[in-house]
């Protein structure tokens, strides 16, 4: 729920604000809100003094799922970046910090030094036209040629500028097959060129939450610091007992989450049409003693992929709090945006307890290798 305030501005400040909003394309409300959040962030960061096991940065931060994971392992987040203003609102409400905006405009030199870089970057195709031309001319190409114009390029340039001890990158499972495998090939070549020993695995969140959710994790360690004579394994420890859908459901969800007759009839007809055509498309009623399909950012549209049966009535969609639980967020996590934005945010987020386990593996490996470096 937004609150209204009225403020008085000197003429010169108002003119400067108007000029800025005209050139930036932002509304006055967005500029003022962002400025206030940044001011409060700076004050809170200055007041905090943390004893941290390690430092990390949170890129493409979303609503902070990765931040929770790495903080649970004793880390101190020294920088965050997220361009979506609604995600920024949620991030600020939960961490008291306003993430930086457009990463393509961030000078890597201003980012604080850190031990681990964390990024859930978007999956984008790489243009190979320019690379092919250079190769035909016998000229070598590097990550700056291959990844230019993509957001992964910004991850690479920050790694190159700051040389963290390690990084963890997260993406959808299909990253490996995206653009006929070219996208993943370029990513691995680029990280190798940056002189990092890289490991990757596809992990399923259903070991931690009642949701089938496969994601690829790419972990790298600085060869300049640690060499390459070591191994890293994704030896995660699944939760016991295995979580079930009934564990995350609210006892008395609001009736507004029940599907209308019109929507429920539409979904049934849509499913029947595709069933007759031999397709598997359609709604999904979640088994309370089982796991759900993958929660997606489109869940706000109709909730069809994960519906909850209701005795004597139409099924309902999950509430935003149930979506948060399905991703492993604690109930203390504040949801401060509309239902539509909350569904998008949790649908785009990570399985927090899974990421917490992997973060622990990375930190333990760094402790081990730093210890060996000290002994030698």
* CB proximity list for 369: less than 8 A, separation 6 or greater: 221, 226, 230
> Which residues on neighbouring strands pair with residue 76, listed in sequence order?
55
Peptide bond into 241 cis (omega under 30): yes
Q: Mind giving me the DSSP string for 240-297? A: SSPP-GGGT--SS--GGGBPPHHHHHHHHHHHHHHHHTT---S--BPPTTS-B----T
Question: How many Cβ atoms sit within 10 Å of the Cβ of residue 129?
Answer: 7
Backbone angles phi, psi at 167, to 5 degrees: -140, 160
Would you give the DSSP letter of residue 206?
A: G
DSSP state of 306: S
The residues that are catalytic are 123
């Amino acid at each position: 729920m937004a609150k209204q305030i009225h403020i008085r501005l000197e003429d010169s400040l108002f003119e400067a604000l108007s000029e800025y909003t005209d050139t930036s394309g932002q509304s006055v409300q967005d500029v003022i809100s962002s400025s206030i959040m940044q001011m409060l962030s700076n004050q809170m960061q200055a007041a905090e003094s943390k004893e941290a096991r390690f430092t990390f940065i949170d890129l493409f931060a979303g609503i902070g799922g990765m931040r929770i994971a790495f903080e649970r392992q004793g880390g101190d987040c020294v920088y965050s970046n997220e361009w979506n203003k609604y995600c920024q609102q949620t991030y600020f409400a939960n961490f008291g910090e306003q993430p930086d905006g457009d990463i393509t405009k961030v000078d890597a030199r201003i980012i604080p030094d850190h031990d681990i870089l964390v990024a859930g970057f978007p999956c984008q195709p790489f243009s190979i036209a320019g690379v092919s031309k250079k190769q035909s001319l016998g000229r070598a190409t590097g990550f700056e040629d291959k990844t230019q114009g993509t957001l992964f390029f910004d991850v690479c340039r920050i790694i190159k500028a700051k040389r963290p001890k390690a990084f963890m990158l997260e993406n959808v499972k299909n990253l490996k097959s995206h653009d006929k495998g070219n996208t993943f090939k370029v990513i691995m070549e680029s990280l190798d060129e940056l002189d990092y020993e890289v490991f990757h695995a596809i992990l399923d969140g259903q070991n931690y939450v009642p949701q089938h959710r496969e994601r690829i994790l790419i972990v790298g360690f600085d060869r300049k610091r640690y060499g390459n004579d070591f191994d890293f394994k994704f030896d995660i420890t699944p939760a016991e007992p295995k979580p079930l859908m009934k564990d995350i459901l609210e006892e008395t969800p609001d009736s507004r989450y029940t599907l209308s007759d019109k929507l429920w009839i539409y979904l049934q007809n849509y499913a029947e049409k595709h069933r007759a055509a031999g397709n598997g498309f359609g709604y999904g009623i979640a088994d309370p003693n089982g796991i759900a399909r993958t929660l997606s950012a489109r869940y706000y549209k109709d909730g069809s992929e994960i519906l909850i049966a209701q005795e004597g009535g139409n099924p309902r969609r999950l509430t935003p709090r149930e979506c948060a639980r399905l991703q492993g967020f604690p109930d203390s996590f504040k949801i401060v945006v509309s239902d539509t934005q909350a569904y998008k945010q949790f649908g785009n987020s990570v399985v927090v307890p899974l990421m917490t386990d992997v973060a622990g593996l990375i930190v333990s490996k760094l402790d081990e290798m730093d210890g060996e470096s000290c002994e030698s």
